[in-house]
Structure 1
Amino acid sequence: MKLKFVFIAAMSALLSSVLAAEDNFEELLEKYKNVTSESLLAEREKKQSAVILKEKLDNTFLDGAMIAVPEKSYSILKTEVTQEFYEAVMGENPSRFKGEKNLPVEKVSWYDAVVFCNKLSVMYGLAPVYSVSGKSDVSEWNYEPHKGDGISNEVGCNENANGYRLPTVEEWRYAAKGGQEFKYSGSDNLDEVAWYDGNSGDKTHTVAQKKPNGYGLYDMSGNVWEWCWDSGSYSKRFYCGGGWSSSAAGCEVGGRFWCNADHTDFDLGFRIVRSLSKK
């Protein structure tokens, strides 16, 4: 009789264990379904956001905005990179003069500009031009735009890459001349083509409000200075074109200045180019 009671008790415990396991299994399965569904939904939303962002970049910022430079193998953005464009790619806007969406972005360092170029290239499935320690993925550069002094290792340039990049000083000057022989980009009358210390009211202005040069490029004199790729001595990089606080002399096509690559200022921005010969 005692043996029978022990057997029944053992079977009851086993059955309870099985039932509990089944309950746990159902619970775990439901959790798994929920987690899987949330993960798939998040991934789908991420992909949809990427598609929407690319369409926005196409329609708002790049559609017809890259001008092929005559007799050269590169195209150049017809305006300075705007705050809206920069924020769409980088997720932030460091500029001092905020307001109109088509104001040029400023307070960006040379490092910030090359990070922008690589991120934009990846969005379009293009080969990034710049690398640090052989890595073109900016997330591996140990650099946060506007939050650090700079990138500790040298930035390399892949001349065979087909992505977006900064112009060289030579490329910038050629494009700024616009096939014309003017002192400033598009005219000998600076007020026709530029915002500078004589007419800016001590601030930036919406891009493409002044007369373009012969290639259809705006604000290559004045509004904000524009970073170029070339290096000066040590870690210094060149910039061209003059800005809203510049004298007339600073806005001449042939001028160039340099400063540290980590320098930022509220009259310093950039525009991008892309090599047409690269596939």
Structure 2
Amino acid sequence: MLNCIKCNKELPDDANFCSNCGYPAGSVKTCRSCQKCGATLSTIDNFCSHCGMPVVSVQEAPDTSSLEPTIKTKIDVYPTMIRIEGGNFHMGGKFINSPVTLSDFYMSETLVTQGQYAHITGKNPSKLNGENRPVEMVDWAEALIYCNMLSAKNGLTPCYSIGTETKLSQFNTASPIWKRVACNFLASGYRLPTEAEWEYAARGGRETKPYQFSGSNDISKVAWYGENSNIESHDVATKEPNSLGLYDMTGNVNEWCWDFFANELLMTPQINPRGPSIGTLHVKRGGSWLDDPQQCTVLYRTGSTPNGKSSNLGFRVCRSIVNQ
């Protein structure tokens, strides 16, 4: 059913004219209000039906329902880094309660976008294309390769190496050799966040607030997730940031972390923890456009095989602050 835009009578969907007042209906759409009296005008009006004021220009209002929301920050070809002040927190919440101390570090303001990834690697593997959407269909090794390439591009010391080799793009990402990859956390280059760094930043750092999601208890304000995403990713930074100015820590795409996944966190105090020394899965955090709210909380933990790829899995980058 539709309603007459003049008298509001309910009309059948295929009506061309209102049966009550005779006003055109059907495909005739509201385009503006009368500048004199405010009456509603349609696309066929030349004069206001209420006061007779001439309609100078009649133009159908554009359909903006499919447009992407506005990006709230500037997206450069290189990730914008935000300094995160270190501190103490209890990782995992009140039931797990793992005491952790972290040093200061940098974290990228947004997820790595498809445009940023292509600028460094020359390719875009993503399934849900968009220059400012998060890059996805990237496995764990490919995220490390991007980090080293980005470091070299910016004159920084790469963090990752296999033996003495830091040009990791020469290695097949499915090769067992990736079990030998090491991270130099004292290097100045880009790297994946540790799981502890990710959770600390998602929860607001030193000013941690007891939010379920990163920056709010209202998931729709800060995240693209299963109930509002239209089953796809979205441009980064179109939802609200958390208190540290980080966007999409909840939702849009899951995020790779450096650590091997462990079912349980250690209960003993730790300084700058980097996860187990061995494992078969790597941590991913944050939830995605495909997930329920329960999978998007700042405490939800899961893992994926290192060669796992998905249209709802991407990453953001960190940097250590050397000589601190």
RMSD: 1.9
Question: 2:91 aligns to what?
Answer: none
User: C-alpha deviations, 1:105-162, integer Å up to 9, x for none?
Assistant: 00100000000000000111111100112311225x422xxxx524524211112211
SS of the aligned residue for 1:170 comes to helix
Residue correspondences, number: 215
SS of the aligned residue for 1:173 comes to helix
Question: 1:88 aligns to what?
Answer: 119
Mapped partners of 2:145, 2:176: distance in 1: 11
SS of the aligned residue for 2:77 comes to helix
Mapped partners of 2:176, 2:120: distance in 1: 20
Query: Does residue 203 of structure 2 align to residue 174 of structure 1?
Result: no
Query: Does residue 138 of structure 2 align to residue 113 of structure 1?
Result: no
- Measured after TM superposition, the shift of residue 181 of structure 1 is 1.9
* Richer in helix (by share): 1
Contact residue 186 and residue 322 of structure 2 kept, 8 A: no
Identity %: 39
Mapped partners of 2:75, 2:237: distance in 1: 17
Question: 2:314 aligns to what?
Answer: 269
SS of the aligned residue for 2:319 comes to strand
Query: Does residue 70 of structure 2 align to residue 61 of structure 1?
Result: no
- Runs of 4 or more consecutive aligned structure 1 residues displaced over 6 Å after TM superposition: none
Instruction: Please list, as runs of the form range in 1=range in 2, the aligned pairs for 1:150-189 lying within 5 A after superposition.
Output: 150-153=175-178, 154-178=180-204, 179=207, 180-189=209-218
Q: Which amino acid aligns with 2:116?
A: F
SS of the aligned residue for 1:206 comes to coil
Q: Which amino acid aligns with 1:123?
A: K
* Richer in strand (by share): 2
SS of the aligned residue for 1:207 comes to coil
Instruction: Please list, as runs of the form range in 1=range in 2, the aligned pairs for 1:214-225 lying within 5 A after superposition.
Output: 214-225=243-254
The unaligned stretches of length 5 or more in structure 2 are 1-73, 87-102, 262-277
Query: Does residue 228 of structure 2 align to residue 213 of structure 1?
Result: no
Instruction: Please list, as runs of the form range in 1=range in 2, the aligned pairs for 1:235-254 lying within 5 A after superposition.
Output: 235-254=280-299
Contact residue 249 and residue 286 of structure 2 kept, 8 A: yes
Question: 2:133 aligns to what?
Answer: 103
Q: Which amino acid aligns with 1:254?
A: L
Mapped partners of 2:184, 2:85: distance in 1: 23
User: C-alpha deviations, 1:185-207, integer Å up to 9, x for none?
Assistant: 00000001001101000000010
Q: Which amino acid aligns with 1:164?
A: Y
- Could you tell which deviates more after superposition, 68-77 or 162-171? 68-77
Instruction: Please list, as runs of the form range in 1=range in 2, the aligned pairs for 1:38-49 lying within 5 A after superposition.
Output: none
Mapped partners of 2:77, 2:138: distance in 1: 19
Rg larger in 1 or in 2?
Answer: 1
Change beyond 3 A, Cα 1:200–1:227: same
Contact residue 134 and residue 156 of structure 1 kept, 8 A: no
- Pick from 209, 216, 222 the counterpart of residue 193 of structure 1: 222
TM-score by length of 1: 0.73
Contact residue 131 and residue 155 of structure 1 kept, 8 A: yes
Contact residue 103 and residue 207 of structure 1 kept, 8 A: yes
User: C-alpha deviations, 1:206-251, integer Å up to 9, x for none?
Assistant: 1001111000000000000000000126331001000000110111
Q: Which amino acid aligns with 1:235?
A: T
Mapped partners of 2:104, 2:189: distance in 1: 14
